Structure 1
Amino acid sequence: MTPGETTARTTPAGHAERLTDQQVEQAVRMLSMLAEPTRLRLLWALRDDELGVTALAEAAGCTPTAASQHLSKLRLVGLVQQRADGRARLYRLSGGHVLRLVAEALAQAEHTVAGLPHHG
């Protein structure tokens, strides 16, 4: 190793231990999107399949206009993806990381609300 060179330590999952400013900023943007009830419900509704705005609005208990506005925000931060199916727009989660993030947040909430012990 040359002077000034450092080795990057990694976590067990293989991610760099030292976070970049860009990683932190993006994570904060994504997590802030989860801090809104309708958006969290929309993401949970997408856990198994892609859905259109009308079905998502029904699942989240909001109007299609409100669902569309929330989905636009979720798309901007990369939590959902959209594809055209004729005139309809279908939405899906942007991958397994998003699903696990939402599922873990809701599992943590369930443990807290129900007074269940937390996993190690």
Structure 2
Amino acid sequence: MAAPAARREVPPAQALDLAAAAFALLSSPMRLHIVWALAQQENDVSQLARRVGGTPQAVSQHLAKLKLAGVAHARRQGRHHVYSVSDQHLTTAAQHMLERLTRDVAKVTIRA
């Protein structure tokens, strides 16, 4: 017989609201791709646009939202702004989810 699950404290409403907002921020496939790409390496807008398959304008708009939310930040390097991830916890959660779902997609593809 399995051991009973440990009781966990109910998260406060404010924590639930913040978590929902963070997941909503990553609900855009383009923003999720940008966060994933920035977790791999820093990039400027044009490099990032090439990596994620978007226009520099679209990537710039997504980066503005990510910066406002504290997920990404920019530093000046010459005439460019170089972006990187500033929220490692959210990035780690996104990477874990993508890794899991990538395995699931591969399983479905192999069966088809």
Fold equivalence (TM over 0.5): yes
Structure with the larger RCO, 1 or 2 (CA within 8 Å, 6+ apart): 2
How far apart in 2 are the matches of 1:61 and 1:49?
16
Q: Which shows bigger deviation, 43-52 or 65-74?
A: 43-52
Corresponding residue number in structure 2 for 1:33: 25
RMSD after superposition: 2.1
Corresponding residue number in structure 1 for 2:89: 97
2:70–2:87: 8 Å Cα contact kept in structure 1?
A: no
Residue 35 of structure 1 aligns to which amino acid in structure 2? S
**What are the ranges of 5 or more consecutive residues in structure 2 without an aligned counterpart?**
1-6
Output the TM-score relative to the length of structure 2. Answer: 0.77
Alpha-carbon deviations, 1:18-47, whole Å to 9, x = none?
A: 322222222111111211111111111111
Is 2:98 the partner of 1:88? Answer: no
Name whichever structure is richer in helix by fraction.
Answer: 2
How far apart in 2 are the matches of 1:64 and 1:32?
22
Aligned residue pairs total: 102
Q: What pairs with 1:1-120 in structure 2 (closer than 5 Å)?
A: 17-115=9-107
Output the TM-score relative to the length of structure 1. Answer: 0.73
